[in-house]
Chains A and B, each alone.
Chain A
């Protein structure tokens, strides 16, 4: 077993990448990419698409934060501000976070991890990407038309009756992208059930697969509900059919039920894959098998199921019946338990392990710390009394950004760095990787910690102006956002640079277990020359050979 010393140069593959045929060079030209059915290429297509939306959503955020530098900021007028936070939410949730780990890392890694040649339905996979792009184009068209001002939550009756913005166009974009999600989920479910290599039993699967499987089931069960809900809003807006309009006996709160029935599980779509990545990273960089494998696996399933039972906690102050609120509050506490079990198990994995602070591990650490804070503040919000005080304030914003950005985005970046040698066949520059990780962590905390305080002190969300006494905290937050933005820019640059100019990667630069590391970097189109047969337990770090030298 080889240890990876900090700053050491990792060994170079003996044969150069140019000689060997692999999935990147087996066919060239735009057509070969746009008509590919190779899950690895499709993962890269998704990577390009979601990075674009990450930048677009990030620009919206930056504009908001600049406006919030002063209590009466007029960089943008209030109308535009509404559209900025709405488009930020729509693009970040549906066009970045939800596809991020599943459609990029999941697409790339899942078949290899289970020893398959591809997903069950490669053509559906490509269709999923085209559908995603089509939805994205509608959303961009909406931006051109001025964007929506309803918030990403499209609450009725504002969205269905009173808003003057391009609501239907945005709804069409999101509706279409929902089918991309459903197809991806469908593909993963069938693949994981039917295409595991011989010997790959359920309890020999890497925990990333357990997370992806659960995520896939959530995608399939939850996405259709948002689809039909948004369709109803569009129908109401276009034809005034009355479904959410109190003037016809309609119930605006019904919209919120239907919306959050999807959107709460949606946050688990965003965080479960991240947890899956963290399990992989923590095991590899602690050189230890994951503590309590079965507990982590079943915790994933529990989160998936329980995540569907808590949606009413978004509606505590909307007029929901108090009895229902009590039930949802209780269940929201219960859903925290499996997440806590996972954090405990990751920590125990690191204990007495041989921890290496490579870039992916820095991101994993970031995830564990920030997700814990985000998760705990979720419990604050689950308490009815507290929620009445901080609902619709910056406290909520800080809470979910800690989980989605401090958690999911960090895990996504950790996963990108971890599998980058496999994806690109190149080694990214480790020093820049670490610098960026630290910068992102620092920038993130400076951006969002002040927001907890602001929210508790009463600063409402979705407002472009605030009382002057909140300025210092807002300035801190904006300063943090700038650092965060810089931190995100660096990987964009050095990863792109490395794809062309960096050192070639060996098949297993990290000395990790897992079938994806038993094949070349980058892998051949069909992943494995010979279908592997699995005989070992996962995370067998005691006995495997280290990096190929």
Chain B
């Protein structure tokens, strides 16, 4: 079981990550801004899933359900980007 103390530390970590992502957005990192923001978001999401949603102590079936949802979303985004990302724009002569 996840203890209450762990939950509080997780909340602290989440707020720290929030401060970090907010601050980083004001710093010009070019293309890395997006990567940083997304990585931090993923980290926050993982903290919530693993600790608050008790995934750490749940049977593997739950991991599978969550992972499948994310993976399937990846299929959707990936498939659309294969199209959108490789379109050749034909300009009129």
| B30-72 contact mask (Cβ, 8 Å, vs A): 1 or 0 | 0000000000000000000000000000000100000011001
Query: What are the residues of chain A within 8 A of B86 when measuring CB–CB?
Result: 321-324
The answer, among A193, A258, A309, A315, for a CB contact under 8 Å with B61, is A193
Indicate whether A373 reaches chain B with its CB closer than 8 angstroms: no
Interface of A is mostly: helix
A257 touches B83 (CB 8 A): yes
List B residues 66-93 near A (Cβ within 8 Å): 68-69, 72, 75-76, 79-80, 82-88
Distance in angstroms between the alpha carbons of A225 and B72 in the assembled complex: 11
Chain B proximity of A230: nearest CB distance (Å): 16
In the complex, what's the smallest C-beta–C-beta distance from B90 to chain A, in angstroms?
A: 10
Q: How far is the CA of A312 from the CA of B84 in the complex (A)?
A: 12
Contacting pair B79 A312 (CB below 8 A) = yes
In the bound assembly, the distance between CA atoms of A217 and B83 in angstroms comes to 26
Q: Report the Cα distance A281→B80, complex, angstroms.
A: 40
From known contacts A193-B61, A221-B69, infer whether A311 and B83 are also in contact, taking CB-CB under 8 Å: no
A312 touches B75 (CB 8 A): no
User: B84 to chain A: which residues have CB within 8 Å?
Assistant: 251, 254, 321
Interface presence of A308 (CB below 8 A): yes
Residues on A with beta carbons closer than 8 Å to the beta carbon of B83? 253, 257, 312, 315, 320-321, 324
Q: With CB as the reference atom, state the residue of chain A lying closest to B82.
A: A324
Quick one: CB contact mask for A305-323 with B, threshold 8 Å, 1 for yes? 0001101100100001111
The answer for the CA separation of A321 and B83 in the assembled complex, in Å, is 5
A327, closest chain B residue (CB): B82
A387-416 with Cβ < 8 A to chain B: none
User: In the complex, how many angstroms separate the beta carbon of B37 from the nearest chain A beta carbon?
Assistant: 23
A266 CB, nearest partner CB in chain B, Å? 14
Output the least CB separation between B70 and chain A (Å). 11
Known: A308-B75, A309-B75, A321-B86. A257 touches B80 (CB 8 A): yes
Once A193-B61, A221-B68, A308-B72 are accepted as A-B contacts, the answer to whether A261 and B82 lie under 8 Å apart by CB is: no
Q: Which of A253, A254, A258, A323 contacts B82 (CB 8 A)?
A: A323
List of A residues within 8 angstroms of B82 by Cβ: 312, 321, 323-324, 327
Nearest chain B CB to A431 CB, angstrom units: 48
B87 touches A261 (CB 8 A): no
CB distance B79 to A309 under 8 Å?
Answer: yes
Query: Complex formed: what's the CA distance from A321 to B86 in Å?
Result: 6
**Of A221, A257, A315, A323, which one neighbours B72 at CB under 8 angstroms?**
A221
CA distance A308 to B86 in the complex (A): 20
Contact B75 A254 (CB under 8 A): no
Instruction: Please name all residues of chain B whose beta carbon is closer than 8 Å to the beta carbon of A321 when the two chains form the complex.
Output: 82-88
Residues in B with CB closer than 8 Å to A327 are 82
Contact with B along A191-224 (1 / 0, CB 8 A): 0010000000000000000000000010001000
Complex Cα gap A193–B64 (Å): 13
27 A-B pairs with C-beta separation under 8 A:
A193-B61, A217-B68, A221-B68, A221-B69, A221-B72, A253-B83, A254-B80, A257-B80, A258-B80, A261-B79, A308-B75, A309-B75, A309-B79, A311-B79, A312-B79, A315-B83, A320-B83, A321-B82, A321-B83, A321-B84, A322-B86, A323-B82, A324-B79, A324-B82, A324-B83, A324-B86, A327-B82
New A-B contacts (4) at CB < 8 Å, excluding given A324-B79, A324-B83, A327-B82: A258-B76, A261-B76, A320-B83, A321-B84
